[in-house]
Amino acid sequence: MKYFIKTFDNARILVEDLNSDIEKTILFIHGWPLNHNVFEYQLDFFPDKGYRCIGVDLRGFGESDRPYNNYDYDTMASDVKKIIDILDLKDITLVGHSMGGAIALRYLSKYNCHGVSKLSLIGAAAPSWVKTKDFPYGFTEDTVNAFIKDSLSDRPNLLKNVSDKFFFKYISSPMLNWFSNITLSASPWGTFKCLISLREERLFEDIEKVSIPTLILHGVHDLICPYEFAKYLNEKIKNSTLVPLNESGHGAFIEEKDKVNITLLNFIK
């Protein structure tokens, strides 16, 4: 079932809700510049295991509204809070990929884990997508600035370059075309404004506030969010387990979907 939920600024956020009569819930938050359809192989798997599965299109992506402003992590975390409150969700396993993992961490920090009992991070863009004085991993600010410039001048080429770096293992041409079409469906302004947020946002303090059981899944060949991100998260989140995915890049939920699904299933049982 698909429907929309309105946020504080009247943006309509698309929700795909499977098994809505079941209480135990998995809520999926996608990364940049994607939408909830990238979780196809999780949304195929978990409903048959007895879970309610909710996929969300973040503002500016997929079928959600495309406002020109408000693409910071606080706003997108408040969108997640609105969904959880409107649907009265409890005992949630929150699954965030890439930027979605960063938004999940901001949500847990800002709202004291409201409604969420477990967290899974897949290739999370945290604690910082860019290098800082004390965190020498990720892209440089200059590189992200070049991404933003490219997004404003030749967005399809930028997204092709991102898609080429996304996977480690062989991906069929039809699969890559499907994935590329998802990236191109994002709003142009949502695409570059989220790049600004990825450049500016820091989650070092947010991570310190997370104490719920956390499963960290991360491709060791990830070129978008280096594996060092996962090691840092595992060190700083007290109740966390890190599972390296040795045959994956940034798209582990596709590349090693069976391992991701079984590991996540065992974690939330």
Given the residues 64, 78, 98, 197, select the one marked as catalytic: 98
DSSP string, 53-77: EEEE--TTSTTS---SS--SHHHHH
Which amino acid is it at 208?
A: E
Using an 8 Å Cβ cutoff, are 104 and 96 in contact? yes
Q: What angle do CA 61, 183, 255 make, to 5 degrees?
A: 115
Q: Answer yes or no: are the C-beta atoms of 100 and 233 closer than 8 Å.
A: no
Residue 172 annotated among the catalytic residues of the structure: no
Report the half-sphere exposure of 85 (CA within 13 A, side-chain side): 12
68 by Cβ neighbours in 10 Å (0-12 / 13-18 / 19+) ranks as: exposed
Cα distances (Å, whole numbers) of residue 258 to 41, 44, 96, 245, 263: 9, 11, 17, 11, 8
Among residues 120, 221, 222, 240, the one annotated as catalytic is 222
- In degrees rounded to 5, what are phi and psi of residue 42? -90, -40
Q: Please state, in angstroms and rounded to a whole number, the distance separating the CA atoms of residues 78 and 11.
A: 12
Q: What is the DSSP letter of 23?
A: S
> What whole-number distance in Å separates Cα of residue 73 and Cα of residue 177?
29
The rounded distance, in Å, linking the Cα atoms of 62 and 241 is: 31
Start-to-end C-alpha separation, the chain: 24
Instruction: Identify whether 98 is a catalytic site residue.
Output: yes
| Catalytically active residues, by annotation | 98, 222, 250
